[in-house]
Structure 1
Amino acid sequence: MAGHGDPPEGEPEGSPRGEDDEYRSTVFDESFIRAARLQEYSARERMTDHSHAVRKVQPKPAPDPAGGGDRGGAQTGRGRFSNGPKQLLLLLMVLVLSFGTAVYLGLRNPYRPPPLRAVEQARISVLPLVPEGRVPGGTPDELFAHSPAARFREGAAGITLPGARATGEFAEGQVMAALTIVKDYLVASSLDPDVLMGRTVRPVRVLLDPEQQGQFDRGLTDPAADGRHDPIGWLVRFDPATVARADSQVRVRGTLTYQETSPGTLEVVSDHVFVYALRPAGPGDGATDRSVAGPVRDASLFTVRRELSFRFTADDLPRRHTVLVSSTAQAGPQECSAEVPRTLRPLLAGERAKPHNPAATDPYTAGPVAPAMCGTLSPLAQPTLTGGGPAS
């Protein structure tokens, strides 16, 4: 017979013993629940002082093994357990959808670069300026002090940015980003020593739209007087076999302007004058500019005016790319040549331009009209040293 603390039908089979005895009271099987006696004080009994009378609540009869008994409990149990497969199925569906989404996002990179768009070729015009007499020579400081570039700033400090304001579709930060890219292009193409002496072109090329890089490459490898493929339209470059730099600083002055020419298109126009102090290349020159002890006496100035127009879209700014729309350059003093050289050919101190005649033009010949090949460098653009005219 079961004890006072045991279930009426004895201890369930497999019940733990020994060190787990303290948890035996938490094991409730079906026979224990049926035999339980529930006690609840009645309202009258709770009103009686010091009364311990209780009202016994008889347990429900055990279910009929033949199918009778507590149908509600069985139905409740079936309802409770019948939701299990549905919840499991729902959980599996969530896991499958999550896994599929992760795989899809992993295979599809949301940061793929946008497809290349068609970009028109840049229009290029380069005008060599021929001096009327001998090229003045002297030290770089003397030449700069007695030239129109006397008050120009040195290097990148001469490329000043205007105040940026928002336009129709470009925020103030986007306008400033476009101006900064243009300044970087001017520094790379007009001031970088390695670019100037022909050792590299990469700092200029990486700033161009990929669709324009082909035109850029062809202009450097296969120059042509077609208004599209003159290398000087892209950058300033000298021949290190004949020319060396007499001063490490380039004098610069100019302006930058911008406007939104059409919805989603920002145009930046630069107009700058770059003045270089040059000298003849010597035995120690070549791949690098050699250091010269003392002032250079045989230096001369070479001036390049560059007017460039750049175009931006909102997609160009994060990639730091720009489209060069047009480029106009005037450079001198140098010789007039019927061919398009790969580099600039400055006339140095004491040199004089050879007499030249304009190329013959036949108006009856079909095809594009060749632009004017040369101009004349004004004497006002040349340094005038103290005590008279230019030094030779």
Structure 2
Amino acid sequence: MPIVEDPDPRRSEGSDPDGSDPFENLVLDEEFVKGATVKEQAGRTRMLAARWKDQPPVDPGARRTVLDPTPARPKRRLRRAPAPVDAWGTPRRRGRDLRAPLFVLLTVAVLLAALNLDGLRDWYRGTRGGLPTSAPSVAPETARPGSAPPSLAAQTPTVDHPWAGSPAEGWPAGPGAIELPPAQAVGAFDADQVAAQLKLVKDFLVASNLDPAVIAGGRPETALDLLDREERDAAVRGLDHPDRAADATSLFSRFDPRDAIPVGDVRVLGRMSVEGDGERGVLIHTDFSFVYALRPGPEAGRPLPGSKPPASPRPAAPETSAAAKPVAWTIAAKPAAWTIAVAEEAGGSTRTTRTVVRRADTYRFYDPARYRNNPKKINFAEFRGDVANTACHVQDGFYHPQFEQFAVPAPPGGQTPHGPATDPYDRSTPAPVPDPSAGPECGTVSRS
């Protein structure tokens, strides 16, 4: 029907005035699509075109576009020079700047060196002298070595590194360093009895030289219980009333805690052997070196009582027992034998020292069928040995090591070393034979 906008009646769709259909022979194939002269735009394209008529798009500069090939200018941060870019505006990759890490490493190295000046000095000495700075590991001895341990670069021992510069650094430590030889039947004793005797001797060595309480100045009750009656009486006399004829250090390694405090473990090197003693029984020979690392006690460096040697040798006490014989070793000390304190707080020092005690003693076990004795207790046949780094002519039942940081030349009238210089680590020669009439010697040691 006619409408306002279209008053004329419309022709039916798809018909010409002459009544024919113009699309009757139209084929919508690929050729028809390719030959189209007008193409419909996508809906999003028409929407964006309508929007951009009033609000043209703005390029944020985050990417390059075909419309604006000029690259965005790089931003400048923290007043640094802008990163270089190539012709397309891509930042060029810089090489790594190693200055900052190197500066940090250098600062840390300087701080560590400042905190450990002694270690830095020791390292410098070692590199100059060409000597090794650490000792090789050493197994327990099975026979006497052929030479002394090699020399090491001079180093300053500290609480953290008490064995620096010492051959004992590579020695075994603690009771495990005392190995027992194979037990065989000897004389009146069968193999099991000899094995028990060897273990008894080891127990005594451990109780008298490796017990931390004894080393720190305690009374060696466990070791005393292993001695036969006469030997025990003589040892107690050396503990309660020490003098040159009977001093506790002839059997026990003890340090006065006012002077020296043990640090860490004890390094041990040596050997044991068994020998028949004819009709009397069995002899067990021992030769061990015990090395103790020590830090200063609260009174380290102060004058010791009785530091002057006696005017003439005192006569030896009657030989009622082997343990009552004069101390049978050379006492070696460094040149400044007597020292005085040069620091207000001696115990606050971190530098340490070492004392080397060599004991080459012989133990006798009598045949119980011929002698009245307790076969499960210890008797002594001979004492040998020496001590490096202890005060000379001081018999008070303790060792008194010297600390270099508190040492000054001895005052007038004080004791000065006069004995030969020895290497306390040299075990290639037999332990010295004592001369009771001459008294203890006061010599020097080549190293400690």
Give the alignment's TM-score, normalised by structure 2. 0.46
- Give the superposition deviation at 1:281: 2.1
Residues in 2 aligned to 1:186 and 1:313: alpha-carbon distance in whole angstroms: 20
Q: Partner of 1:329 in structure 2? A: 385
Q: Higher strand fraction: Structure 1 or Structure 2?
A: 1
- Report how many residues are paired: 224
Q: Partner of 2:270 in structure 1? A: 254
Q: Which amino acid aligns with 1:168?
A: G
Flag the 1:252–1:230 CA change in 2: closer, same or farther, 3 A. same
Q: State the secondary structure of the residue aligned to 2:229.
A: coil
Q: Which amino acid aligns with 1:268?
A: I
Cα RMSD of the aligned pairs, angstroms, is: 2.9
Residues in 2 aligned to 1:193 and 1:357: alpha-carbon distance in whole angstroms: 32
Q: State the secondary structure of the residue aligned to 1:199.
A: coil
CA contact (8 A) 1:243 1:279 kept: yes
Flag the 1:374–1:350 CA change in 2: closer, same or farther, 3 A. farther
Flag the 1:259–1:140 CA change in 2: closer, same or farther, 3 A. farther
CA contact (8 A) 1:216 1:231 kept: yes
Residues in 2 aligned to 1:335 and 1:313: alpha-carbon distance in whole angstroms: 37
Q: Partner of 1:388 in structure 2? A: none
Q: State the secondary structure of the residue aligned to 1:331.
A: strand
Q: Partner of 2:339 in structure 1? A: none
Task: List 4+ stretches of structure 1 deviating above 4 A.
Answer: 314-319
Q: State the secondary structure of the residue aligned to 1:297.
A: coil
CA contact (8 A) 2:215 2:262 kept: no
Q: Which amino acid aligns with 1:187?
A: V
Structure 1 unaligned regions, length at least 5: 1-134, 284-295, 360-367, 383-392
- Give the superposition deviation at 1:168: 2.3
- Give the superposition deviation at 1:335: 2.5
Q: Higher helix fraction: Structure 1 or Structure 2?
A: 1
Task: State yes or no: 1:267 paired with 2:323.
Answer: no
CA contact (8 A) 2:270 2:289 kept: yes
Q: Which amino acid aligns with 2:202?
A: K
Q: 1:310 aligns with which of 349, 355, 363?
A: 363
- Give the superposition deviation at 1:267: 0.7
CA contact (8 A) 1:246 1:278 kept: yes
CA contact (8 A) 1:278 1:348 kept: no
Q: 2:181 aligns with which of 148, 156, 162?
A: 162
Q: State the secondary structure of the residue aligned to 1:274.
A: strand
Task: State yes or no: 1:206 paired with 2:261.
Answer: no
Q: State the secondary structure of the residue aligned to 1:219.
A: helix
Residues in 2 aligned to 1:235 and 1:314: alpha-carbon distance in whole angstroms: 27
Q: Partner of 2:205 in structure 1? A: 186
Flag the 1:140–1:166 CA change in 2: closer, same or farther, 3 A. farther
- Give the superposition deviation at 1:186: 0.4
Task: State yes or no: 1:172 paired with 2:191.
Answer: yes
Residues in 1 aligned to 2:220 and 2:445: alpha-carbon distance in whole angstroms: 31
CA contact (8 A) 1:306 1:330 kept: yes
Percent sequence identity over matched residues? 28
1:1-392 aligned at under 5 Å gives the runs 137-140=156-159, 142-226=161-245, 229-247=246-264, 249-282=265-298, 297-315=350-368, 320-337=376-393, 339-352=394-407, 354=410, 356-357=415-416, 370-379=437-446, 381-382=447-448
Structure 2 unaligned regions, length at least 5: 1-153, 300-348, 419-434
Residues in 1 aligned to 2:252 and 2:165: alpha-carbon distance in whole angstroms: 27
Residues in 2 aligned to 1:236 and 1:161: alpha-carbon distance in whole angstroms: 21
- Give the superposition deviation at 1:314: 4.7
CA contact (8 A) 2:256 2:400 kept: yes
Q: State the secondary structure of the residue aligned to 2:256.
A: coil
Q: State the secondary structure of the residue aligned to 2:167.
A: coil
Give the alignment's TM-score, normalised by structure 1. 0.52
- Give the superposition deviation at 1:344: 0.8
CA contact (8 A) 1:233 1:328 kept: no
Flag the 1:302–1:140 CA change in 2: closer, same or farther, 3 A. farther
Flag the 1:142–1:199 CA change in 2: closer, same or farther, 3 A. closer
Flag the 1:139–1:182 CA change in 2: closer, same or farther, 3 A. same
